Amino acid sequence: MKIFLRGGAAALAVFLCLAAGPAVQNGDMPVQGNAGPRGFVPGKCGLSITRAFWDRFSKNYESNCLAWHHFGRNPVLPPSGNTWQKRWTANPDFLNFDGRTLLYYRGNGTTPADDRVNHDQIGVAELTGIGTKGISYKPLNDGQPIVPIGEKGSYDDGMVLDPSAVKFGSRVFLYYSAIGTPGYHIGLAASDDGVHFKKIGPVVQGRVPSAIVRGDTVYLLFQRLVDLKGRATDVQIRTPKVYELYLARSTDGIHFEEVRDRPVFKGDEGNWDGISITTARVSYSDGWYYILYGGSAYLADEPDYFGLARSRDLIHWERNPGNPIFGAGARGESDGGAIWFPAFMDCGGDYFILYEGSRGKYSWDLSSTICMSWIAKSK
């Protein structure tokens, strides 16, 4: 089995809708609508999965997947400009902070220092609307990366991706996958306003963090590539390897201890997610932790479905009986090849997810963009 590893501006409100018009590409985005779709209140729409969402699905995965509406003009946040996000956009992550909804995401493109090599870096926009006709947003930090790659020889000099932002105390802690000279780590950057960040450094060995704060503790779900004998490794070789989820915790958000030395969630052998678990996003409500996650029955990092699971303690997990609850789009669509990184929002009469979608596959057309789908709350 061949395993592929992923590398994983004006402040202008943008509204993408289903109305007829030219294709959205290269940042040449039409401006339509007013303040945004009905039902959206900045900083107020729910970002945690609830029991109602869990119960929304039947035990038939086909009907669950077909109940979703894939936005007809995906992607909703396409590549743009001529530098840091000209090639791909990916890894959406929501945070309600200081009365507004922030959308962190990965861009792939060049840097001012070198226009020959593409790198992943993290940017942020303010979400000003979301609905069945699209999203509206405005880039922040003058449309430039908020967490760029590090200096040559540093822990994140290659790629900065997979953001997971939480409010910890009065600050925003943003955890991210850091790929650099020493290998793979989870890095941390902190901010007082959610836009201007200072790097703190690597905190855990692994990648694709998903952080959640409960009381005075930060819990960090993250994935590691392991061989089928369970030995952790970051070496890319042509032997069977899979991603599994691990758990760490910290009382200061910086110094972490792993809760156990084995995975807390892994593939269900022989099922749709039997080979690998990727890009899980965690939330909490009413005594339950929930994850939306990507799964694959044949590759380590090319999921074509999302599943849902819940836990009382972040260690022992129950899969939704209707899994998988969401599938990739039609062949040829922006999300028709593979999907990752589902960011959930409960707004108005619908549940929304923003996620990374690719038109094709790793081996012939990896083309990551941020896409959107929604499902009505009522069946």
Task: Tell the residue number behind the tokens 């704060």, with chain if given.
Answer: 213
Contact 121, 147 (CB under 8 A): yes
Q: Which of these, 305, 299, 303, 315, lies nearest to 242 by C-alpha position?
A: 299
Q: How many residues does the chain have?
A: 379
Per-residue b or e along 120-157, where b marks 16 or more CB atoms closer than 10 Å to that residue's CB: bbbbbbbbbbbbbbbbbbebbeebbbbbbbbeeebbbb
Confidence of residue 235 (pLDDT cuts 50, 70, 90): very low
Mean pLDDT of the chain, nearest integer: 88
19-23, 51-55, 78-82: range with lowest mean pLDDT: 19-23
Q: How many domains does the chain have?
A: 1
Q: What is the pLDDT of residue 229?
A: 66
Would you say residue 105 lies in a domain?
Answer: yes
What is the pLDDT confidence band of residue 33, given thresholds at 50, 70 and 90? very low
How high is the pLDDT of residue 363?
A: 85
- Read off the pLDDT of each residue in 167-184 and give the average, rounded to a whole number: 94
| Burial per residue of 86-107, b for 16 or more beta-carbon CB atoms within 10 angstroms, e otherwise | bbbbbbbbbbbbeeebbbbbbb
> Tokens 């990648």 label which residue?
207
Confidence of residue 11 (pLDDT cuts 50, 70, 90): very low
| Residues 306/294, Cβ–Cβ less than 8 Å | yes
pLDDT tens digits for range 251-274: 999 999 999 999 999 999 889 999
- pLDDT exceeds 90 at position 340: yes
* Position 36 in a domain: yes
How does residue 352 score in pLDDT terms, banded at 50, 70 and 90? Answer: very high
pLDDT of residue 16: 37
- Report whether pLDDT(32) > 80: no
The CATH number linked to 249 is 2.115.10.20
On whether residue 154 sits in a domain, the answer given is: yes
Please check whether residue 262 lies inside any domain of the structure. Answer: yes
**pTM here?**
0.89
Q: Among 271, 313, 269, 273, which residue's Cα sits nearest to residue 292?
A: 273
Task: Find the Cα–Cα–Cα–Cα dihedral 92, 223, 194, 9, rounded to 10°.
Answer: -40
Does 303 fall in a domain? yes
- Residue 3 falls inside a structural domain: no
Instruction: Please give the pLDDT value at position 20.
Output: 28
Residue 14 predicted with pLDDT over 80: no
Q: Is residue 72 part of a domain?
A: yes
**Domain contains 5:** no
